[in-house]
Structure 1
Amino acid sequence: MSAMGRRDLLKGMFGVSVGMVGMSALNPLYANGLAEFKGPAVPDVDAVKVSDRCYYIPAMGSEPTPDNFGMFSNPGFVVTSEGVVVIDTGSSVQIGEMVLRQIKKVTDKPVIKVINTHYHGDHWLGNHAFVAANPDVDIYSHPACQKVLKSGQDKFWFNFMQTNTDNKITGTVITLPTKSLSGGETIKVGDTTLKIHHFGKVHTESDIAIEVVDDKTMYMGDMVMRRVANMADGSFVGSIKALSAVEKMPIDNFIPMHGKHEDVQLIKDGKDFMDIIYTKAGEYYEEGLSDFEMKPKIMAEPFMKEVASQWPGYESTIGKFVVVAIQEYEKNLF
């Protein structure tokens, strides 16, 4: 979209928001007038400094709720001599605005690029805030991210976040990435070199990781996390392959979009988690076991009991992971 197109989009923000919020949310908000037609501001969360250039803003929870305003992922940013590169923007314009406030506490340099790591809504719905602040800012993603969002997933994710936050993202305008990064690019931004990695289908088919070469730091998106949430769009085999490759890279710090930054142990644990579920599901499938018979056996594995069981969402979601693993195993048989 051109800069002029974005300006036109923002001028029409009120009308677009009305259509997306839906009448159930519109009626009580509209009754108070236009000034009230926006969800509440998100409280400030100070940025965590990981390395000389790399920061992230920690999530306020592991799932989107009204209490955390949908702030359940870690928007990140890289401060270069030329300007700031933002990596994932959160679930709403309000979160994006909060991210901008935290950036200003660190540097007076402008935001010059935004990168969305994939198409799940907590990674791009905050784009609106950055275009509102600078209509000329470029927003990048993998081409598959743009394709999926344009197929209707953009509105799905808006509605998902709106529902789960009790309409607190009201005022957010869907603002999609328009520039493409397919993986393999090396981007020089002032004194900083970024390498873009795409490993195929991992958490989704559109995942990209951003390596900040100078700082030996990598933003992982959702390709690894200490959280058990959603594997329906991903691949166990792809995840194992990708994390095996990442494990060998000369990286000191890994920043997931859910959970704290860590060293390579994060990658090793993420790979073990995926490997155990997929391998064991395959073994038990060959023995003729059903998914509900497999689940307790997989949960009894030492790694699962000692490590994965501590992750948010484990008890409620591990069964879904087993089902997805079975489906992928069956697909790979034929």
Structure 2
Amino acid sequence: MSHATRRNILKTGIFFACCGVPHTRAALAWSMSADPLPVKQVADGVFAFAGAPAMMTRQNEGEICNVGFIIGDDSVAVIDSGGSVVEGKALIGAIRAKTDRPVRYLINTHMHPDHLFGNAAFKSSGATVVGHHNLPRALESRGTYYLQSYREAMGDDLMADIRIVPPTKLITDEEDLDIGNRKLTLRAWKAAHTDNDLSVFDHKTGVLFTGDLCFIDHLPTIDGSLLGWIAQLDILNGIKAKFAVPGHGAVPSPWPQALEAERRYFDVLASDIRRAIADGVPMTNAVKSAAQRERANWKLFDEYNQRNAIAAFAELEWE
């Protein structure tokens, strides 16, 4: 049974019996862990799964961001674990379908649940969890809230095995990891999407895992600094990558063209908010109209744009 079929069974809430034993929704979710995530080969030894442009729900099991892995001569590096332990186990299944080499590193690109709720699936792998030097503090601050706030949307069964697993190896600037004749450069960025964004560049193939520093199709979300993000786009643009695996969007995506829509949205949002501030428009009114001409260009615009506008207003009014 395919991964999609199993997921659809869980979505419909069908209960079935095998050998006379009833299966609960939790048992169905657990059974899916053996079903490999349908990853795509992006380049030699580089695989990625494209998440759906959606909110995290019970139906999609948190599979809304892009996750992937890189196979070296000695070991494997995983980039993000997904939005649930079920997805994390399915990612492990995909890795095992490609190689029996051990997972040495689990790299979390930032703090958001869709990228690291699957961490607990890797507990028995012995992998070192790697993250930005600000990530432990961010998870300490928000971890409990994340576990509580996603329970309604995800359901008790999917949330039952999810744990906040902080990194033990911290990246403060740039650092290279070797997974066996394969160098990966990890870079810790200044505040942008969050204040704990990390990117991964594979020198062998020129593939760049951007984390949520790059959004395609799915509206970018600001949980760090709009100005910081805009300021670092040129630095991102200058990375000599052949392809990108964005945090959300097509896998792979052309580089640096993948940044163009995001840059345009930020320019429009900042321009509208600055104009509103200059005209004395109250924030409650300004955020409703900001960047509305971008609405047709993005999925989840209504879910996130006003939140982005509030963050932008709070930052730009003190320029």
- Determine helix, strand or coil for the equivalent of 1:242: helix
Does 1:104 find its partner at 2:91?
no
Residue 257 of structure 1 corresponds to 247
Check whether the contact 1:240–1:271 (CA below 8 A) recurs between aligned residues: yes
1:156 aligned onto 2:145: yes
Q: TM-score, normalised by structure 1?
A: 0.80
Deviation (angstroms), 1:266 = 1.3
* Aligned counterparts of 2:90 and 2:204: Cα–Cα separation in 1: 27
Identity %: 22
Output aligned runs, 1:167-246, within 5 Å.
Answer: 167=156, 168-226=158-216, 227-228=218-219, 230-231=221-222, 233-246=223-236
Q: Does residue 1:288 correspond to 2:265, yes or no?
A: no
Name the CA distance, whole Å, in 2 between partners of 1:171 and 1:198. 29
Instruction: Report whether the alignment pairs 1:59 with 2:48.
Output: no
Cα drift, residue 310 of structure 1: 3.2
- CA distance in 2 between counterparts of 1:156 and 1:271 reads 31
Q: SS of the counterpart of 1:64?
A: coil
* 1:316 counterpart residue number: 303
Change (3 A) 1:321 1:175: closer
Structure 1 spans left out of the alignment, 5+ residues: 1-31
In the aligned structure 2, how far is the partner of 1:283 from the partner of 1:60? 34
Assess if the C-alpha contact under 8 Å between 2:139 and 2:164 holds in 1.
no
Runs of 4+ in 1 over 6 A off after TM superposition: 35-39
Contact 1:39–1:169, Cα closer than 8 Å, also in 2:
no
CA deviation after TM superposition for structure 1 residue 96, in Å: 0.9
Task: Give 1:37 shift.
Answer: 7.0
* Paired residues of 2:53 and 2:299 also in contact (CA < 8 A): no
Verify the 8 A CA contact 2:105 2:129 in the aligned structure 1.
yes
Query: 2:53 touches 2:248 (CA, 8 Å); kept in 1?
Result: no
Distance 1:149 1:317 in 2: 22
TM-score (norm 2): 0.83
Distance 2:25 2:287 in 1: 51
CA distance in 2, matches of 1:330, 1:229: 21
Query: Pick from 83, 91, 114: which aligns with 1:91?
Result: 83
- The residue type equivalent to 1:104 in the other structure is R
Report how far residue 81 of structure 1 moved.
1.0
Conserved? CA contact 1:38–1:170, under 8 Å: no
Q: Which has the higher strand share?
A: 2
Separation in 2 of the partners of 1:101 and 1:149? 27
Offset of residue 195 of structure 1: 1.1
Superposed CA RMSD: 2.3
Alignment partners' CA distance in 2, 1:38 and 1:150: 31
User: Would you say the 8 A contact 1:125–1:174 is kept in 2?
Assistant: yes
CA distance in 2, matches of 1:53, 1:163: 38
Q: Which residue of 2 aligns with 1:7?
A: none
**Contact 1:70/1:161 (8 A) holds in 2:** no
Please report how far the alpha carbon of residue 36 of structure 1 lies from its aligned counterpart in structure 2 after TM superposition.
Answer: 8.8
Q: Please, which runs of 5 or more residues in structure 2 have no aligned partner?
A: 1-20
Shift of 1:80: 1.0
